[in-house]
A and B are shown apart, each in its own frame.
Chain A
Amino acid sequence: MAKERRTPSGLEVKPAYGPEDLPAGLDAALGQPGRYPFTRGIHEGMYRDRLWTMRQFAGFGTARETNERFHYLLKQGQTGLSVAFDMPTLMGYDSDDARSLGEVGREGVAIDSLRDMERLFAGIPLGEVSTSMTINGPAIILFAMYLAVAEKQGVPWSQVRGTLQADILKEYIAQKEWIFPPEPSMRLIVDMIEFATREVPLWNTISISGYHIREAGSTAVQELAFTLADGFAYVEAAIARGLDVDEFAPRLSFFFNSHLSFFEEIAKFRAARRIWARHMRERYGARNPRSWMLRFHTQTAGCSLTAQQPEVNIIRTAYEALAGVLGGTQSLHTNSMDEVLSLPTEKAVTIALRTQQVLAHEIDVADTVDPLAGSYFVESLTDRMEAAAEDYFRRIDELGGVLRGIELGYFQREIADAAYRYQQEVDGRERLIVGVNAFVEESEERIPILKVDPALERESCAAVQALRQERDRPAVETALAGVAQAARDGANMMPPILAAVRAYATEGEIVRSMRTVFGSYREAAVF
């Protein structure tokens, strides 16, 4: 008897599938492309009408270096921008803070104030390009800076398009880059949703992210379930604020990982759309079809890349990207082959973008909508992923919801267990990885990697210190007092933060004002 096979999430995989494996009621569960429950995609014509957005995440050094990379990527045919911020910016520290030492500009671009943001988008018309910003704890501050740059360019907020990640729940669950405790953090997110719904109608207020959950070691089923559970938690928080679900839900977006297990990934994307549509309509009473649509960005799996034989990563990434496209993604980032070693070189990032262009223009997969629909195997897998996610939703409800699950360390433990299992499978050679535990090369040629000049850290520190001398000090103090006041009063935080940003208060100063009211957070780490 052949050995039993399972997907990485543990779902059984038979040698062959037939009509008897198709789920009952398949027609209704599938629907038509562009129609409820959107299993087959959110648009009727999908990529025939409009290709996915090729959006490579980029950022390093100072705003000037990253601005140059943005101009380069736009010139190469990229169609949207995606900003990577450095660790101090993600964690709410200025470049010259003692905690920032050695980290400025390393993993992304260093942004301290509106002045840096103006440099970051110099020569890039914000009315024409859409920008995604991977920022969570201090998202509200960076959003305010972006809107202030638009003002300075004379672009009305009604034309500004882009996405904030602003998904704080997955920070506590997986990525661990938080600033404040969960409750005030949730309030800040609802403040942004409320503000953007009225003032910046084309903005995707939040990108509910499974990517980091997966990178932290979860399975595909856990990524699916925890991400959608987070999504439901945001919907419930916004409804509790008094917002109408159909006002804000159309601007919620998602962000998934595309890993190596090809069919399981495709099934995950299809199941995600169906689950979201059903819950939005049936459980939250949304009536606008746009509220039912799960729109998502995909990034290929960073954690699937190997430091050994790094050129092979180009191939892994191409398969993962194909899964994202067959799963109906709205935008895509393909990792560069060297990202397991450092930030990508220009050459590596160009190959990654070309990988998407080959996918879009040479292999004809964009011509037919949801081409795997009706496949005995893919439909069975989609159905079983959905059922497994529903099991997790019940467990999370029993625990008392997502916030309670975080407090209990439930998600963190589930992910750590899955990560450990995966590593044991690799160590035990039950799972083969080319170059790591199979087909190893004794001596490997090194590929060139990007070096971030340490002088950029000093430059960034000097710039923020000079800014503090130049600006109108009393105006900054007044604005920061306004931020703390709103934090205490419970008023929407966007207007006072916009005022502080316009006065060139730094990110670190604004965070400190909020921290005096909100406090900070420390997790009980489990392993």
Chain B
Amino acid sequence: MTATVDSESTRRVRVLIGKPGLDGHDRGAKVVARALRDAGMEVIYSGLHQTPEEIVEAALQEDVDVVGLSILSGAHLTLVPAVLERLREQHMEDVQVLVGGIIPDEDAEELRRMGVRGVFGPGTETEEIVRFTRSCARRA
């Protein structure tokens, strides 16, 4: 697979993959980060055990279009709103937030109501995440 620049944008899509909270399950985060990179995006991976503040700070510093949060600890209804809140505080509402992990269906609906653009559970093809991320970034 070769990296190609998205022809419809003037710059590469920039994505931060963040691991908020205490869980160390980084398999999904890394697979998705790599798939997005292979699809030609600039991908920054936060590393593990980040607070919502640290993630938003990194998103600001790296000037990303999209933040993908990977959460497998069940704490998504606490951690995701905390990230969204801090993005608003930083006037970064244009940054699109995606969530991946073990998220029950009804919680996924609640996350969308809060402003999350997409929620991806187990079994999602990486190609679908790539497409969705690119479409979010374009509208950003």
Residues of A at the B interface (CB closer than 8 Å) are 87-88, 90-91, 93, 99-103, 106-107, 171, 175-177, 215-217, 303, 305-308, 340-343, 416, 419-420, 423-424, 426-427, 433, 435-437, 446, 449, 452, 522-523, 525, 527
Contacts and interface: CB of A to CB of B under 8 A. Distances in A.
B58 interface: no
B78 A527 contact: no
Interface stretch (B59-67, B84-92, B122-130, B132-140): B122-130
The 7 closest A-B CB pairs, nearest first, are A102-B78, A176-B24, A106-B74, A102-B75, A87-B22, A527-B30, A525-B47
A525 B105 contact: no
Contacts of A107: 23, 73-74
Among A306, A426, A525, the one with the most B-chain Cβ atoms within 10 Å of its Cβ is A525
Interface string B22-38: 11111101110111010
Given A176-B26, A342-B104, A525-B26, A427 B127 contact: yes
Given A215-B27, A427-B126, A88 B33 contact: no
A106 B73 CA distance: 7
5 contacts: A88-B22, A103-B73, A420-B30, A423-B126, A437-B125
The majority secondary structure among interface residues of chain B is: loop
A523 B47 contact: yes
Given A416-B30, A420-B34, A527-B45, 13 more contacts: A87-B22, A87-B23, A87-B75, A99-B22, A102-B21, A102-B75, A102-B78, A103-B73, A106-B74, A107-B73, A215-B27, A307-B123, A527-B43
A303 B123 CA distance: 10
B24 A341 contact: no
A23 to B, nearest CB: 34
B34 to A, nearest CB: 5
A103 B24 contact: no
Contact of B21 (A103, A436, A522): A103
B106 to A, nearest CB: 9
Given A91-B22, A436-B123, A101 B30 contact: no
A110 B72 CA distance: 17
A198 B126 CA distance: 52
B79 to A, nearest CB: 6
A175 B33 contact: no
A419 B73 contact: no
Given A87-B21, A91-B22, A93-B22, A102 B126 contact: no
A285 B127 CA distance: 52
A99 B51 contact: yes
B45 A419 contact: no
Contacts of A424: 126
Contacts of A176: 24-26, 48
B115 interface: no
Given A102-B75, A107-B73, A175-B24, A522 B123 contact: no
A426 B34 CA distance: 15
Contacts of A341: 102, 104
Contacts of A452: 74
A436 B121 CA distance: 11
Among B26, B47, B105, the one with the most A-chain Cβ atoms within 10 Å of its Cβ is B26
A491 to B, nearest CB: 30
